[in-house]
Structure 1
Amino acid sequence: MAVVVGVLTGSITSLIGASGVMIIVPILTMFFHVSIHNAIGTSLFVDVIASLTVSYSYFKKGNIDLKSGIWIALTSIIGAQFGASWANKMGAANLSAVFGIVMILAGFSLLRKGFQTEDDSSKPIGRFLNFNKEYQKIIAALLIGLGIGILSGLFGAGGGVMILLALTVLMSFPLHKAIGTSTMIMAITALSSTIGYASRGNIDLVIGSFIAAGAVIGGIVGSKFANNMIEKTLQKVVGIFFMAMGVIMAAIVIIKSVNIH
C-alpha cells in the first residue's frame, strides 16, 4: 500500500506541483497509525525525493525559472526551520485540526482556479502589484519564500500549493513553468524542513522509503503526460480531493475530542 501511495503522490506532484503531504499525512495517520509529527516528517522526506525527480523532468523541458526560484528558496529554507520548531511545540490534536483547515483552504483555491474563465485568469494580482523593477521582484520573491517556508515547516506541506498559487497569482507565471519552478523550490524547502524533523526523530524511514520509491515512479510517468493534461479539469478534481481529506481530518479530531470529554 505504501508504494501505491507513493505512485499517487509522485503523479500529483508532477501534474500540478502539489506537495505529497496532502496525501501522505492523512493516510499515514488514519491507516498506518503514525503520529501526526512523524507523518509530517516522513511526508517531507518523500517530498524531497519526489520533487527532485519531477523538477528534473520539467527542467529538461525548459519549464523552470531558476532565477526567481533560487530567491524564493533562499528565504524558504529559513522559514522552514521556524515552522518545524513551532510545529514540535504544538499538540498533535491542534496540529491535525489546523492541518485539516489548511487542506480545505488549499483545495478551495485549486477548485476556484479550475472554474476561472480566461477573462478572470488574465487579471493576475501581480499586475496590480507592478513588479517592474528587478529589486521589487527580488524582494517579493524573498518575502514569498519566507512565508512558504514557515507554512512548509509547520504543516509539512513543502509549500507546493502555496508556491504554485504565489507564482501564478502574484508573479504571473505560466502554469507549466509555475509547476516546474514550484517543484524545484519544494525540493529545497522540504529538505530544510526534513532536517528539522529528523533532528527530533520524527521520520519513519522504513515507510518513507517505500512511499518514496513509488513517488519516483509516479513522478517520472506523470511528468511525461503533464503537458498533455487539461489543467483546469485536474485542478477541480484534486481541489475536491484536498477539501474532502481536510474535512475528514478535522472531523476525526472533533470526534476524538468529543469521546475524550
Structure 2
Amino acid sequence: MDFLILIIIGFLAGTLGSLLGLGGGIIVVPALLFLAPYLSILEGMSHQVAVGTSLVVIIFTGLSSTLAYMKYKKVDYKSGFVLFIGSGPGALVGAWVNKSLQSNDFNIYFGLFMIGCAILLFLNERLKPKQKERKNGFIRTYYNEEGQKLTYGFHPVFGGVIAFGVGFLSGLFGIGGGSLMVPAMIMLFLFPPHIAVATSMFIIFMSSIVSSTTHVVLGNVNWLYALALVPGAWFGGKFGAHINQKLKSKHIVQLLRIILIIVGLRLIYQGMA
C-alpha cells in the first residue's frame, strides 16, 4: 500500500511538473515530509533525503517530458544549453548548502519559497509582456499555431545569472527550478509559454543530473523511495506534456497556486513550532 501511494505521488508530481514546466519536486519533497509520520516505509525521513531522492526522480520526469515535447517540436535546445551553463553550477552550490540547513530552518525557507512560487504564478498569469523585436543578445524566433512570428531572447550574461539563481534553488530545495525559470523565461525573455515550459523541462533534466550527483555522493538518496516514485513520475511526465498540448492550463495553475500557499503555510508553521 505504501508503494502504491508513492507511485501515485510520483505520477501527480510528474504530471503537474511536466504540464507547467516545474519539474515535480515541488510536489515530491513536501509530500514525503508530510507523509513520513503516517507511512512506515518513510520512517526516519529527513529533509536532505527528501531533497536528494526528489532530484533523482526529477531526472526521469525531465527526460520523459522532454522526449514528449520533442515530438511536438517545442524544445529550444540552444537556449536550453545556454541557460544550463548557469543553472548547472548553481545546482551544485545549492546541493552543497542544503547539507548545512537545520530541519526547522528548511521548513520555513521552503514554505516561504513555495508561497513565492504561488505569487510568481499569479503574476505570470496577470502580466502579459508586449512582443517587441530583440536586437541584442541571444535572439530566437518562433511561429505559433496562427503563423504569427514571435521574437524572444536574452543576453547570455543576464540569462546565466538568472539561471544560476534558479539552479541554486533547485539544488537547495530539490524542486527542479522550473517554478522560477518558467515565469522568468516568459516575463523577462518573452518566451512563448509552450516553448518556455518545454525548454524548462529540458534544462531541469540536465541540472537535476548535476545536483542529484552531489546528493548521491553525500548519501542523501534513498533508492527504495526512488524506485517507488520513478515509474509514476515517468508516465506522469508524458501525460503532463500531452495535456499541455491539448488543454488550457489556467484552471490547473489556479489550483496549483492554492496548493502551494496551503502547503507553504503549513511548512512555515511546522518550522516555527
The question of a shared fold, defined as TM-score above 0.5 by the shorter chain, is answered with yes
Match of 1:5 among 9, 15, 34: 9
Q: CA separation in 2, counterparts of 1:152 and 1:85? A: 11
The answer on 1:242 being equivalent to 2:260 is yes
Within a 5 Å distance, the mapping from 1:24-63 to structure 2 comes to: 24-32=28-36, 33=43, 34-63=45-74
1:113 and 1:235 in contact (8 A); partners too: no
Q: Residue in 2 aligned with 1:122?
A: 129
Q: Residue in 2 aligned with 1:168?
A: 186
Q: CA separation in 2, counterparts of 1:178 and 1:221? A: 18
Match of 2:112 among 71, 96, 101: 101
Q: Residue in 1 aligned with 2:20?
A: 16
Q: Residue in 2 aligned with 1:132?
A: 135
Q: CA separation in 1, counterparts of 2:105 and 2:118? A: 20
1:141 Cα deviation from its structure 2 partner: 2.1
1:177 Cα deviation from its structure 2 partner: 0.5
Q: Name whichever of 175-184 and 32-41 sits farther off.
A: 32-41
Q: CA separation in 2, counterparts of 1:229 and 1:244? A: 25
Deviations 1:30-50 (A, max 9, x none): 212510110011111111110
Q: SS where residue 121 of structure 1 aligns? A: coil
Q: For this pair of structures, how many residues does the alignment match?
A: 247
Q: Residue in 1 aligned with 2:141?
A: none
1:109 and 1:239 in contact (8 A); partners too: no
Within a 5 Å distance, the mapping from 1:79-94 to structure 2 comes to: 79-94=90-105
The answer on 1:225 being equivalent to 2:243 is yes
Q: Residue in 1 aligned with 2:218?
A: 200
Amino acid at match of 2:13: T
Match of 2:175 among 154, 157, 163: 157
Question: Normalising by structure 2, what TM-score?
Answer: 0.86
Question: Normalising by structure 1, what TM-score?
Answer: 0.90
Match of 2:79 among 59, 68, 73: 68
Amino acid at match of 1:145: A
1:71 and 1:145 in contact (8 A); partners too: no
CA RMSD across the alignment: 1.6
Q: CA separation in 2, counterparts of 1:84 and 1:131? A: 35
Q: CA separation in 1, counterparts of 2:246 and 2:267? A: 33
1:152 and 1:159 in contact (8 A); partners too: yes
Amino acid at match of 2:81: I
Deviations 1:44-76 (A, max 9, x none): 111111011001111111111111110111121
1:232 Cα deviation from its structure 2 partner: 2.1
Q: Residue in 2 aligned with 1:186?
A: 204
Of Structure 1 and Structure 2, the greater strand share is in 2
When residues 38 and 72 of structure 1 are mapped into structure 2, their CA distance, relative to the original with a 3 A threshold, is same
Q: SS where residue 9 of structure 2 aligns? A: helix
The gaps in structure 2 that reach 5 residues or longer are 37-42, 139-153
Amino acid at match of 1:64: V
Of Structure 1 and Structure 2, the greater helix share is in 1
Q: Residue in 2 aligned with 1:259?
A: none
The gaps in structure 1 that reach 5 residues or longer are 256-261
Amino acid at match of 1:31: L
1:122 Cα deviation from its structure 2 partner: 3.3
Q: CA separation in 2, counterparts of 1:94 and 1:123? A: 40
Percent identity for Structure 1 against Structure 2 = 28
Q: CA separation in 2, counterparts of 1:132 and 1:143? A: 20
Q: CA separation in 1, counterparts of 2:264 and 2:79? A: 31
